[in-house]
Amino acid sequence: MLNVIVNPQVRKLKKLVAEIDAKCRDRGVPCRFFYSSKRGDARKYARSLTAAGQTELAVVGGDGTVNEVLSGVADPGAVTLGIIPAGTGNDFAAAAKIPLGAAAIDMILDTQPQYTDYIECGTHRSLNIAGTGMDVEILRRCENMRYGGRRGKYFRSLLATLFRYRGTKLIVSAEGETREYNAMIAAVCNGRQLGGGIPLCPVAEVDDNLMELVVVDCPPRGKLLPALFRLMRGKLLEEPITHHVSCRAASVTSPEGKLYVQYDGEIFEEESLTACLVSGRLRVWRG
């Protein structure tokens, strides 16, 4: 039984669900659909399904919905996960070579799943990127805006953050070393990109038994926009303001108290970001 958890806000939902259902019936694979109605529903579905012994899950949506499902499963080692990318951001799918839309169901039905790394972060899990810093501030501003489309909100949030952002004071530990930063971004990466295609860590691989810790010093305000341009071009790892190390565990705390952390685009207020890479447990249908 393939249990398909669906974000009902995806574009052309009825057509996509009909295609998935038809392809499953053609292959003789029974499937059923579960529709979330609010934040947290996908996580609850994943928890209840896997607790009841259901081991094959598929997700229709973007990175946030995938994150909810992965964070909700009772035991990732007992689950096979399919991703049908249909969200506003499908960054993990790009790293995992999963085609968009209904083409992904063919991969689920016709290929073998592969072991795929994920990041364990306390009560959260992340397939793609978890982190804090300027990108989180932009997303928070965007969430709090009442009017305008998604792109317009994001652009206005970006401009507001550029004028006001002065860095985030962080204490970062990895590979036996602890350092303090005034950071523009601090993130642990299993995938390569975030924010719908921004290549934060192009060298990351989803199955190499390592995650990539990336910390970027916050430049002076006049150099913040050029740094963002280099980030969007995938060139930030080459800059002297960037600190990059491959590791299996890392922690990020703030000397000023709690911090806002995004897990694959989902934002939570946390005491810290404590991340540990998990390999050889979760199986995902991917390229």
Compute the residue count for the chain: 287
At 283 the pLDDT is 98
* C-alpha dist (Å) from residue 250 to 35, 122, 166: 35, 12, 24
- In tens digits, the chain (287 residues) has pLDDT values of 999 999 999 989 999 999 999 999 999 999 999 999 999 999 999 999 999 999 999 999 999 999 999 999 999 999 999 999 998 889 999 999 999 999 999 999 999 999 999 999 999 999 999 999 988 988 888 777 777 766 677 778 777 777 788 999 999 999 999 999 999 999 999 999 998 888 999 999 999 999 999 999 999 978 888 888 888 888 989 999 999 999 999 999 999 999 999 999 999 999 999 999 999 999 999 99
* C-alpha dist (Å) from residue 253 to 95, 121, 144, 175, 270: 28, 13, 25, 16, 9
Q: How far apart are the C-alpha atoms of 284 and 278, rounded to whole Å?
A: 14
- What are the structural domains of the chain? 2-111 (3.40.50.10330), 129-278 (2.60.200.40)
The pTM (predicted TM-score) of the whole model is 0.93
The alpha carbon of residue 2 and the mean position of all alpha carbons in its chain are separated, in whole angstroms, by 23
Q: How far apart are the C-alpha atoms of 231 and 241, rounded to whole Å?
A: 12
Asked whether 83 and 103 are in contact (CB, 8 A), the reply is: no
